[in-house]
């Protein structure tokens, strides 16, 4: 499933360039263009799902694989401590409506997040 006007679907399809750092059968991980930490990578499913809940319901294997892929990227970047963030919905900060997991590492993070 692909949305024709979805930015992340276009990255997955290779239509828009991105710095891809990891790829699996179901996922692609690429560097965020507006990094909020020294390591800021987005991990997305190759199939289009609007948000994390939709992905978990529609493809639970891919949902789990996003976390596994993020852990692999963190390890490859030499990061033992990292934060994983899903934003679901505009009020929560989601701006691209294709599920994406933010991997953030390389600095201290406060709690609660802003």
d(CA 106, CA 50): 28
Q: Which of 22, 40, 48, 100 is catalytic?
A: 100
One-letter-per-residue 3-state SS of 2-26: CCCCCHHHHHHCCCCCCCEEEECCC
Judged by DSSP in three states, 30 sits in: strand
Name the phi and psi angles at 82, rounded to 5: -160, 165
**100 part of the active site:** yes
Terminal-residue alpha carbon distance, the chain: 33
Catalytic positions: 100
């Amino acid at each position: 499933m692909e949305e024709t006007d979805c930015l992340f679907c276009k990255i997955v399809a290779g239509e828009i360039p991105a710095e891809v750092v990891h790829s699996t059968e179901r996922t692609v991980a690429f560097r965020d263009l507006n990094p909020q930490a020294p390591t800021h990578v987005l991990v997305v499913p190759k199939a289009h799902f609007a948000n994390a809940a939709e992905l978990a319901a529609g493809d639970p294997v891919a949902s789990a694989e996003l976390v596994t892929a993020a852990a692999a990227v963190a390890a490859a970047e030499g990061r033992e401590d990292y934060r994983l963030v899903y934003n679901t919905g505009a009020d929560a900060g989601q701006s691209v409506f294709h599920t994406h997991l933010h991997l953030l590492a390389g600095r201290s993070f406060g709690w609660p997040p802003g």
